[in-house]
Amino acid sequence: MNAADDTCAWLDRVRWDERGLVPAIAQEAGSGDVLMLAWMNREALQKTAELGRAVYFSRSRGKLWFKGEESGHVQTVHEIRLDCDADVVLLRVTQQGHDPAIACHTGRHSCFFSVLRDGQWQAVDPVLKDPASIYN
């Protein structure tokens, strides 16, 4: 992944929302599984392209969030795609740090572990590692 400085035209093509953010979907390159959705600001997207590692913007903390900085579950980015409306980013990643891969703070493979059944959300994917042992 190569990206020049902040004046890159490719960053200007992104349709940022009123807060300067764009949703970013992380998809596992090997399986095609959708792992998570997070947000990126311009700096996060630029750093992701430069480092080849997923960097998001934490809305709750108001700062850059290097995926895996606390958990060790880093996402290596192989490809960055922009949707047809230029308002959603797709990252094709390899999830590092655990086998099988853990992307979710709940200790699951994917953040999309709940299925709507009979009018209720039911967790259908197992916890691969206790979150208390991931986040000290």
Structure token pair of residue 23: 């949703």
Looking at the domain assignment, is residue 2 inside a domain?
A: no
- List, for residues 69-93, the tens digit of each pLDDT value: 999 999 999 999 999 999 999 999 9
Cβ 51 vs Cβ 71: under 8 Å: no
Mean pLDDT confidence for 13-30: 98
Domain assignment of residue 3, yes or no: no
87 located within any domain? yes
* Cis check: omega of the bond before 100, within 30 degrees of 0: yes
* Domain span holding position 114: 9-134
What pTM, to 2 d.p., does this model score? 0.90
Weakest-pLDDT range from 2-6, 23-27, 112-116: 2-6
Residue with tokens 């399986």: 31
Measure the CA–CA gap between 30 and 93, rounded to whole angstroms. Answer: 8
Q: What does the mean pLDDT of the chain come to?
A: 93
